[in-house]
Chain A
């Protein structure tokens, strides 16, 4: 059996408990012995704790504003917020290099922001404007930015995993030292595509980082109600890849674990799997009445909120002042207001472009079909 962290989530109870505070990632797990040899990273992302905190605050404020804008009917369609899960987004992205690729899910605002997509382009996308990162065609669930190698929110659970394998295959065949990180939820672990992809990536030793954001619920159904074995890291390990379970409420732990995993992958060790144990504080989507979990469970997890969890130590250590926090808040609010203003002013895509990009321009026939 593996040496994964058992601090939460392994019980058969549907109720989940927040993690005990830990400073670092849990032990690696794999069916084959692995050696962790961290190498200097080329990542340009800010990795200092203060930066991580600021990014989480930015995502939190953005998501809160999105809920407001949704109520205000500025944002429509499905809207899945990641409030409570900011540490996974910020932690993972902090460890990736610009040349790495990211494939995400429909709960990806945090991933996109942390990856470096402009808030303007994300907000405009959700406003359905042509200035959005997907020209207003994708909305909240489908943020794309080729420039940032951000290959989108995929609304089909586990649908992005085979793509990640293929992108990693392309890098592998071309001798490029890139990593493809794919993020997915615990629900995706029940899909065949996860298992096919995990096997294929491990079989071909492809540079894929599997990041499972285990928030304990596949929409409204608790992990233990859908999985016979709830130790997800252990299950991933069975495919012959290095797997860790990580405290996903601890941004530094996530960043550290990701850094190690990326190093392992770049070293040619094949794919790695991170189970990031986290929790969303809000409902699954704006449609979700959140009837399937106790308020007390949510309150308990909120005590592990990654933002205050990092704010306290940084303030007490003097790394950060209250004035810094106020300034950040003001800056973030200003950035959000500017994004909203820009999105409001953004143009709608001309209806004449409806059939544009069904095929590449070279293949466009102009006909109705």
Chain B
């Protein structure tokens, strides 16, 4: 049973995707497990033939328990306990579609790419680093790596404070000290009591939000942004795009949020041990409401470095898989800042609750056609209310205002994205 979070002690096997006798390869998805936060795919990191499935769907087993036995694996331990016996999210995970796409574009063999995540996932930055300057590997001290593995900390979400951005043990410890974001899972059809799952999810959200409201002195800012230019630009783009790849305004909003977070680093990071620690990059948390209730917060890693098409692709992929209960551990790591986009729910503005230890949450309401004065003339424009909930311990309103202004500016120059 892989550990998929610092606080995870056990997990529920939801579903086997293989059966005894099946040939499996490194990287194959073989099972789905529930971590009380989310259903997560488990990948196999050996080649071989499934000898026996040792855990039945619905069964709860502790982290570290052997889920299945793989015969003929290259592992020196032989057929006794390999394959799925992972105690940390080191299970190699298939690269995201975007990464696969970029690798294809750049002519890079993904199998030869060094993954920078502790979970072995190949990130976009690995690909691009390779394209620019040969193989790149995250600078993580051996101790930090060991700590992260032992405690299920996703190194991809840890910002390094060592030389050259190296992640050191203290960075991991701080990540450990920060509780994981509340990531409720939605019920699946396999085996579990939907009510119990809902209760667990509810409790998790309750605890985290209570803590946020208890500990974080929030301040709120709001502004209205004219989306005319972005909408027009997007409409132009969409004429040329295949129907399935059309852009929606949310993609532009998320990207604007990510770029703005980069420009206002005071809001992009974590409050740990009484101090703000800026994150190295913008890992944008996308707060998703599930139809059945509950929330999931998949992460768009290094979102500020993407273009709008990439954000669109990632957002679509993450959303689809989140709703199917098929997010991977690495996609549920700690964001550096989160976005709540409730426009599709018809909400005008979002006054959010910050996910500790993050220090800011950006809210987007619905894009609504409204009368709006431009250059002294009244017209009808697509408007969106952008809000910021920020931690007053880390910043004051002037910083928050700068973030909103930056979002506005970015959305007025969509061609630059």
Direct contact of A and B (CB under 8 A): no
